[in-house]
Structure 1
Amino acid sequence: MAGHDFAQPMTARKSGPLKGVAEIPGDKSISHRALILGALAVGETRVTGLLEGEDVLGTAAAMRAFGAEVTRHGPGAWSVHGVGVGGFGEPADVIDCGNSGTSVRLIMGAMATTAMTATFTGDASLRKRPMGRVTDPLSLFGAQAYGRAGGRLPMTVIGAADPVPARYTVPVPSAQVKSAVLLAGLNAPGETVVIEREPTRDHSERMLRGFGATLSAEKTAEGHVITLQGRPELRPQEVAVPRDPSSAAFPVCAALIVEGSEILVPGVSQNSTRNGLYTTLVEMGALIDFENAREEGGEPVADLRVRFSPEMKGIEVPPERAASMIDEYPVLSVVAANATGTTVMRGVKELRVKESDRIDAMARGLEACGVTIEEDEDTLIVHGMGPGAVPGGAVCASHLDHRIAMSFLVLGLAAKKPVSVDDGAPIATSFPVFEGLMAGLGASIARDNQ
């Protein structure tokens, strides 16, 4: 499924019970950060469990372009010989980040306080996404950015020759923006401070500490305040990447809505800044057992035992939970369509500036499949039809968005009639083994031209 030169239509049909063990790939967020911080450390960082999707492979290529030695030794096993904080060299060519907003925003931050120039681009979806939310705070360090109208890619960033530390309040919850500012602060003297009104996923803070940076976080009247001491010497690490809770969401949600299903999903990250979906599903009445809780690679993990859950009810999801599950609302809306009653998702306007306008994409696709939807700029409301009652029978647009494509394919496994997506190729950006994994559980998902 690599590459997006040609659309890959796919169809999911009503499935028999899903059974077996779902071995989810490594966490995408942690994989990106392990490569970047490994490149900024002095010496060899070794990574196991790295997600080998297109997004992460793009970050690996970018780190090579900035001068780090990045080597694959086997499935998920990689090493990074870093160049140290401030040691990036100027890339010889444009950095193509494909579909990955995480790649481009974090890498811009990592190079913004080093005297060099780099030009970034991406695929059609990424070129529509706003970069000003990152380049604005990076300008506080002394970096300059020049892009297309609306702060969009392609964009050239000129790193600060004499960076100064920054203090920045993130206007909307965004782990990417927070992380970009912290990475920029590594090569600035003094203290860089990031203030969040709502805490977002904390993988960057955890990993920065693990690599030897001095970083503190505290709750104050201003919000969640993170302080980073600039110009540390980062130490290489052994990074074991836990399994991605955002990818796990798809087989988990499929098992919840496909009659007779029971699956085991081992080693899924239970980081409190990432597990909002699972909290929400349990509140709806999902039958999920969290077994063998433990810590791996500095992250809490558990094995999830998931069973078909016909008694799920619609709920109102607290808006303050949005930051911990922002990528999972599309597949939650699929579960909501198969629950009884109404599910209200508020505080989700960030979905409108992801790989696609995810509120609009899910609303239009669910409507085409016979589900009643309400929406406004910051809200998505799904009127559930009960287990197995969604009519289906539609071709849904994926808008070059991996999570939209996978969500509608999950819907098709429980709908009365097949559900198709116009293009499943973007799934490879985050979950390259999705098709094989789902087929191994018994799901009926197929490419339309095969």
Structure 2
Amino acid sequence: MTETSLHGSFAVPGDKSISHRALIFSALCKGQVTITGLSPAEDCQSTAQCMRELGLTVTADPSEPGRYTVVSPGLKGLKAPQNLLDAGNSGTTIRVMSGLVAGLPFTSRFDGDESLRKRPMSRVLDLLAQMGATVSFDAKQGCAPFSVNGTQLKGKEFNLKVASAQVQTALLLAGLQAEGSTLVTLPEIARDHTLRMFRHMGVPYTEPGENSVQVEKLEKTLGGFTIAVPADISSAAFFMVGAACLPGSDLTLLNCGMNQGRTLVIDVLKRMGANIEVLNAREVSCEPIADIRVRYNGRLRGTTIHGGEVASGVDEIPILSIAGALCDGTFTVEGAEELRHKESDRLTAITNNLSGIGATVRPTEDGFVLTGQESLQGGSTWSTHLDHRLAMTGLIVNAICKKPIKIEETESIKISYPTFQQDLEKVLQGSLLPS
């Protein structure tokens, strides 16, 4: 192993999932919304621009990074976009906003970058069509670019096959504009940022059964609100795994969101024997947050990530695979078919990259099996497929491997965490980042 370690105490940028929702849900209100800690991710900037196209003003405070003021005319005051709604690389933007515009009396046309155009949209759009929206695809059926012709929707009951918070949120936003009740049931627990923000804003809903949410048409006018966005645990995960794998590390990540549907990285690392303390637990803007201290505790042991857990850490599987490659025993991921439909086919990318750095990995149809070893050789090229999670994983891998690796590109990191390399430099001791 290298003599590199991670030391210090800092907060990663604001949570991307919560930032998207704070911007989009502002449309439900009439008045001013103040957001602090908004993620600087390019994905969230895509959402902000889409909301401007619908008639909201979204203004950054130049004196305080992450502080934004949003002025909304309310649902009835939203206007037909004059331009394309460009979601960039953001699946959350395009899917959740589809639910918002499905009940509005105009047509909205969505598109995204080359990666987003390959990702499946039918899982949301087919359900919105069942509520009455008209969806038309420009080229490939089920993929962007597409148009949503909004109309008066009718409430419906949905039993989702995948525990997707994006799909759930889109349907609830549509349901708030639909005649009658809309009931959405998930097959298992998922991140509940939407419901927590609804509570914070005063949006009425009920939970008639396990993992079920019901909304009625929103008749009352909601006023503005103020929300503080916690640090993004999915971004913090890279540093957690790095500290758990690099001897001598002692790192504290401040103000991390601890949503029940987001803590897989902590749960898995603890199962593997990592020394992780959750400190100063509290609640801010209806979200649980805490400081997370990770200290190196020797070689980690193997574990299995089961299909029912994947929804609570689908973005963390790439970096957790590095902990698995170094474990004492076997590290198995199963039921992770969803990773084939992210910014890249992450399952194939993970197994190919791990093989390249000397890990012993066997791909499966819905995951992979790693036989852990004491060290990773490195010396290879790390393919990112323009996927920000793979690029950030590569930078952590570079600190861990015996030989430096060549990372295909790091430009994609701006999609979720523009300052990742600078923050990693600050907490790394004994190594430099690759040029």
Q: Is TM > 0.5 for Structure 1 vs Structure 2?
A: yes
Tell me the residue number matched to 1:368. Answer: 356
Matches within 5 A, 1:350-365: 350-365=338-353
Matches within 5 A, 1:23-422: 23-73=11-61, 74-147=64-137, 148-160=139-151, 162-220=152-210, 224-232=211-219, 233-386=221-374, 389-422=375-408
Kept after mapping to 2: 8 A contact 1:269/1:301? yes
Q: The residue matched to 1:153 in structure 2 has which SS?
A: coil
Kept after mapping to 2: 8 A contact 1:40/1:87? no
Tell me the residue number matched to 2:414. Answer: 428
Kept after mapping to 1: 8 A contact 2:404/2:434? no
Q: The residue matched to 1:227 in structure 2 has which SS?
A: strand
Deviation of 1:39 (Å)? 2.4
Rounded to whole Å, the distance in 1 between the matches of 2:414 and 2:101 is: 27
Kept after mapping to 2: 8 A contact 1:120/1:156? yes
Rounded to whole Å, the distance in 2 between the matches of 1:357 and 1:88 is: 36
TM-score normalised per structure 2: 0.96
Cα deviation digits, residues 159-215 of structure 1 (max 9, x gap): 12x211122111212111111111111211221110111121110111122222111
Q: Residue 155 of structure 1 aligns to which amino acid in structure 2?
A: F
Kept after mapping to 1: 8 A contact 2:153/2:174? no
Q: Which runs of 5+ in 2 are unaligned?
A: none
Deviation of 1:319 (Å)? 2.3
Kept after mapping to 2: 8 A contact 1:69/1:80? yes
Kept after mapping to 1: 8 A contact 2:181/2:214? yes
Matched residue count: 430
Deviation of 1:16 (Å)? 2.2
Q: Residue 317 of structure 1 aligns to which amino acid in structure 2?
A: I
TM-score normalised per structure 1: 0.93
Rounded to whole Å, the distance in 2 between the matches of 1:36 and 1:82 is: 10
Cα deviation digits, residues 237-268 of structure 1 (max 9, x gap): 11000111100001111111112111111111
Q: Which has the higher contact order (CA 8 A, sep 6+)?
A: 1
Rounded to whole Å, the distance in 2 between the matches of 1:158 and 1:416 is: 55
**Aligned-pair identity (%):** 38
Rounded to whole Å, the distance in 1 between the matches of 2:156 and 2:198 is: 18
Rounded to whole Å, the distance in 2 between the matches of 1:347 and 1:131 is: 21
Deviation of 1:298 (Å)? 1.1
Tell me the residue number matched to 1:10. Answer: none
Rounded to whole Å, the distance in 1 between the matches of 2:130 and 2:159 is: 12
Kept after mapping to 2: 8 A contact 1:355/1:401? yes
Bigger mean CA offset, 377-386 vs 196-205? 377-386
Deviation of 1:323 (Å)? 1.1
Q: Residue 333 of structure 1 aligns to which amino acid in structure 2?
A: S
Q: The residue matched to 2:379 in structure 1 has which SS?
A: coil
Q: The residue matched to 1:230 in structure 2 has which SS?
A: coil
Q: 1:231 to 1:129 in 2, by over 3 A?
A: same
Q: Residue 188 of structure 2 aligns to which amino acid in structure 1?
A: E
Q: The residue matched to 1:152 in structure 2 has which SS?
A: coil
Rounded to whole Å, the distance in 2 between the matches of 1:447 and 1:277 is: 26
**Higher share of residues assigned strand:** 1
Deviation of 1:370 (Å)? 0.8
| RMSD of equivalent CA atoms | 1.5
